[in-house]
Amino acid sequence: MKSKLIKIDFTNKKIIVGLDVHSKTWYATIIIEEVLTTKTFVADPKKLAEYLKTNYPLGDYIVGYEAGCFGFWIKEELEALGITVIVINPADIPTTDKDKKSKTDKIDSKKLALGIKSGLVKGIYAPDRQSQEYRGLSRRRQDITKKLTRVKNQIKATLKYYGIGYPDEYEDKQKHWSNNFIKWLATLKFKTSYGTEKMESYLRELLFLRTEKLNILRQLRKLSTEEKFKKECKILRSIPGIGIVSAIIFMTEIVEIGRFKSRDEFLSYIGLSPNEHSSGEKRKIGHMTKRCNHSLRTIFIESAWIAIRKDPALTNYYNETYKKTGKSKAIIKVAKKLAARARYILINNTEYVIGVAA
């Protein structure tokens, strides 16, 4: 008598996969109700999808992995194969003290899977490939700016180390890094040719980075005129202190303003909401959160200093707040108002109005 093969039905059953991803291998923890399985895969979305569909046919697959150096391509390829994927901020994954002391691929994938199963972790926003490349261009500008600052500091440190003072015409810091100042640096001679070569190497790097930054700025300005961003950039530029570059950086970072359901959610993303510690009837408001979008927070804080000189309503608000909290906290509050106004005018398709208290 032939025995019957009974095929297990996984139709609509949740198949949760916590994926710890690396360049060549992925470590997966698979949870089906209360059953937990671990498996190692070659770093290939097709292999993972094939395994899930073969072993758990017609299941409701949910794969989660940490945001990081692998970006969103894994999500894109798995979703094209019919697998739901969430990308998780590492800071959102529940971690015990024991987990901190013992870290392995198996533990990491298990935490991801359990976090998804319990509903304690949510996926971050994943922009499409085109938006990622726009954002990459604006972040390249930020990267170059940091490198420029580094090489300038290295040059200044070299001058200080050898006791080389600035000529009188360059004592004013505002004149540092002008073309004439750089030409003066190029005339410096050291005791040996090797010392001179070191300075010349710094100057070559400095000039290269300046050229690269200029090229990136040209491309960002060009991007701001394209149909996708033209309207929004024009609206954003009506805000005091927001120029062409700041506007396009804002749009490439945000991608879609409508994805923020509330003002507080938007301010939290930027990093203009302070930390709060509450217990019982005690409530303490701390410093600004470290979790933020540094580019956007910088844009609004810098714009706030300009806005308090150009918008009478914000001038008055800053002066009143400054008396109670001091300069730093007062300008942060102005930056919060500007960010909230930016969200409002974009959603309502209207330009910023000077002198309106909000």
Spatial separation of the C-alpha atoms in residues 61 and 221, rounded to whole Å: 42
SS3 222: helix
The angle at the Cα of 306, spanning 304 to 312, to the nearest 5 degrees, equals 90
φ/ψ of 314, rounded to 5, equals -75, -30
Kindly write down the DSSP assignment for every residue of 88-102, as one continuous string: E-GGGS---HHHHHS
Q: Domain coordinates of the chain in residue numbers?
A: 14-118, 129-224, 237-242+254-276+288-347
CA distances from 4 to 7, 54, 57, 118 (A): 9, 19, 19, 37
* pLDDT confidence of residue 169: 84
Mean pLDDT calculated for residue range 103-120: 91
Spatial separation of the C-alpha atoms in residues 128 and 229, rounded to whole Å: 16
Q: How confident is the model at residue 100 (pLDDT cuts 50, 70, 90)?
A: low
pLDDT digits (tens, 9 = 90+) for 213-245: 999 999 999 999 999 999 999 999 999 999 999
- H-helix segments, the chain: 45-55, 73-80, 97-101, 105-118, 129-161, 179-186, 193-224, 227-236, 244-254, 263-270, 294-310, 312-325, 327-347
Mean pLDDT calculated for residue range 262-284: 70
* pLDDT confidence of residue 202: 98
pLDDT digits (tens, 9 = 90+) for 294-329: 999 999 999 999 999 999 999 999 999 988 889 899
Which tokens go with 86?
A: 């969430």
- CATH code linked to domain 14-118: 3.30.420.40
Which tokens go with 167?
A: 């000529």
Query: Going by C-beta distance under 8 Å and a sequence separation of 6 or more, which residues neighbour residue 37?
Result: 29, 30, 31
* pLDDT confidence of residue 285: 47
Q: How confident is the model at residue 172 (pLDDT cuts 50, 70, 90)?
A: confident
pLDDT digits (tens, 9 = 90+) for 176-210: 788 999 999 999 999 999 999 999 999 999 999 99
Q: Is 258 exposed, middle or buried (0-12, 13-18, 19+ CB in 10 A)?
A: exposed
Whether the pLDDT of residue 279 is over 60: the answer is no
Q: What is the pTM of this model?
A: 0.84
Residue in this structure with the two tokens 């979790």, named with its chain if needed: 291
* pLDDT confidence of residue 6: 60
The angle at the Cα of 281, spanning 279 to 282, to the nearest 5 degrees, equals 60
192 neighbors 199 (Cβ within 8 angstroms): no
HSE value, Cβ hemisphere, 13 Å, CA-based, for 222: 8
Q: Is the backbone of residue 226 left (phi > 0), alpha (psi -120 to 50) or beta?
A: beta
Q: How confident is the model at residue 128 (pLDDT cuts 50, 70, 90)?
A: very high
SS3 264: helix
Mean pLDDT calculated for residue range 36-63: 94
Q: What amino acid occupies position 254?
A: I
* pLDDT confidence of residue 355: 77
